[in-house]
Amino acid sequence: MRTNSASYKEMLKKRPLNVQALWGNEEVGLVSGRDIVRAFREANAIILAANARNPLTVKGVFRAAKKLNAAVFIEIAKSESTYCAGNFDNLPEYAVKTSSELGHGVIFGLHVDHYAIKSEADLFKAVSHIPSVIQKGWTSVAIDASHLPDWENLCNTRDVAMHIPAYLGLEVEVGEIKGPGELTTVEEAKFFIGGLNAWGIFPDLLAISNGSLHGTYDTGQQEGIDLDRTLEIAQAIRPYGVSIAQHGISGTPIEKVAKFAKYGINKGNVATLFQNIVFGIKMDPDTGNAITEKGSYVKEPHRGVSEETWKKIVEWCDAQGYSRKDGNYKKSNLPMGKYIMNESPEIIGRIIDETEEWATRFIKAFNAENSAEKVLEVISRRQDYNGAPEQAILGARANYNKETAPDLSKKDNKDYSD
């Protein structure tokens, strides 16, 4: 993307106010998540949303995005922000710095992934914490109250959303994402999105339980994304201006990923795969799923961190009582972050190179090449920075209450938020 083009200069003037307040003099292409989702919906494409558990992921993804002129999301979940080297505080500055190093021209959003609301205490914290996160430059938020019964999910999501500027991106969730089995129903999705709409809350994206799983698929465990159910839900919520955010893509064959846009999916989250690249864990070349041998992850010497750092990771995880194929290896990202960021230029280079290679594969499979131009086109249609949606309210609030809630979900009190 040429930073001296008229469309790019116009975009700079129409960036969200929080971005302009922080980086008004920077030519950084940090835009609202709403603009990106709108553009991708019109283009029938999927946004690569990369969870940057380590900041090095940002560099690799941005290099791929600039090379292919694609818009992307950099994201981190609320829970990840507590145990990863990439967090709500440092990723905005790191992303802007990386964009500058590349000469700017990358079009991207910063997305708060899975901001979990599981109690009244979470609700009270969210209405004060999320605005403070937005002040750091985040341009899209995913509210996740899916752990709660359907009526409580609707109410909590509504109340938190009212504290997020309407011109920023908004993702919501119904049905916890926990692998094959129980699926979000069309009835649940319509109740949830219809209820939000009745209160004047207009999400861009809905995350659903459609068979995906966060993290690594274990030996013999099959990826089970139900695309037929996904399409049914996508069609049901389309009148509300909402499409599907697909979580848990790590471990999914690229040829299946390439079909997602046909099923109403416009955002694809990839987290564990990029972590596997940083660690240098042996991966399936088609899915990015970690390959375990004899009950253990396998570190490949020519990939990822140095053998010395990998030894520290294993020792730390052993001390926590994790098995050597435990998904909780993700929690080593914070204590090991300083060692990873201080690796030799050669080690850091190979991590960034492999990240770029995989990001390139996803962007191409997602039909997202040249999507940056489409985002600028969407932004050019309005008068100023405010991209709040012109969405009609389609139903009465009285139709959405505790008595009419489907409440079909079976809660098991486990945490599926990342």
Class of domain 6-281+355-379 as given by CATH: alpha beta
Q: Give the number of other Cβ atoms within 10 Å of residue 200's Cβ.
A: 13
Q: Give the number of other Cβ atoms within 10 Å of residue 391's Cβ.
A: 16
| Stated pTM of the model | 0.94
Residue 378: its pLDDT value, please?
98
Give φ, ψ of 219 to 5 degrees. -55, 125
Judge contact between 298 and 292, C-beta under 8 A.
Answer: yes
| Among candidate residues 240, 235, 163, the one with its CA nearest the CA of residue 197 | 240
State which residues of the chain have pLDDT below 50: 217-221, 409-410
Rounded CA-CA distance 168/175 in Å is 23
Per-residue tokens: 201? 């809350």
Rounded CA-CA distance 252/289 in Å is 8
- CA-angle at 138, arms to 149 and 364, nearest 5°: 90
Residue 193: its pLDDT value, please?
98
| Among candidate residues 294, 304, 317, the one with its CA nearest the CA of residue 355 | 304
Rounded CA-CA distance 191/400 in Å is 7
- Percentages helix, strand, coil for the chain (3-state, rounded to 5) are 45, 15, 40
Spatial CB neighbours of 138, under 8 Å, sequence gap ≥ 6: 18, 88, 92, 110, 111, 112, 168
Q: Give the number of other Cβ atoms within 10 Å of residue 231's Cβ.
A: 16
Tokens 């999501």, located at residue: 157
Residue 414: its pLDDT value, please?
57
Residue 125: its pLDDT value, please?
97
Q: Which amino acid is at 230?
A: T
Q: Can you say whether the dihedral through the CA atoms of 225, 229, 235, 241 is positive or negative?
A: negative
